[in-house]
Amino acid sequence: MTKNSARAVYLLIALGVVLLDRWTKHTVAQRISLYSHIQIIPGFFRLTHTENTGAAFSLFADSPAPWKTGLLIAFSVIALVVVSVLLWKNSRAYVATGVGLSLIMGGALGNLWDRLARGRVVDFLLFYVKRYQWPVFNLADSAIVVGAGLLVLEILFHKSSGVEESQPS
């Protein structure tokens, strides 16, 4: 596998995330009224149509700051530039780093699309147990978290390809 074919695979992964994210958000917005829900697994999971003006998992959603959306867009663009550079420089094919960066890129693009088009992001996945619940999120948020997790695993468990230097006794 060449560098260019690996890059193509990574870009296809990112594109797949964006397309799946766009489709799920569109479907939820069309079929579930805002703030309504569909129970999937009673006591654990439901689809809930919300719109988030904050960051992932509704962080900063309650902030009245007028510059919040602009800052989130700027952060997304910076993250996309960094991820793109890292993907371009990644010389290894099919490794956790490339897949993780691709997932982050696709998720960031999916949420950036919403912010640029509407100033807010459609969220719809709600997991809960009794009165305890995780903030509502979407597939783009999931891709970002899974991608970041792959990067952390790569960092924690990466084996050096170089020869280990022996320590003097």
Q: Which residues are catalytic?
A: 123, 141
Answer whether 100's CB lies under 8 Å from 158's CB: no
**Three-class SS of residue 57?**
helix
Tell me which amino acid residue 24 is: T
Q: At what angle do helices 96-118 and 68-89 cross, to 10 degrees?
A: 150
* Burial letters 54-78, b for 16+ CB under 10 A, else e: bbbebeebeeeeeebbeebeeebee
Kindly give, in sequence order, each residue whose CB lies less than 8 Å from that of residue 27, ignoring residues fewer than 6 positions away.
Answer: none
DSSP 58: G
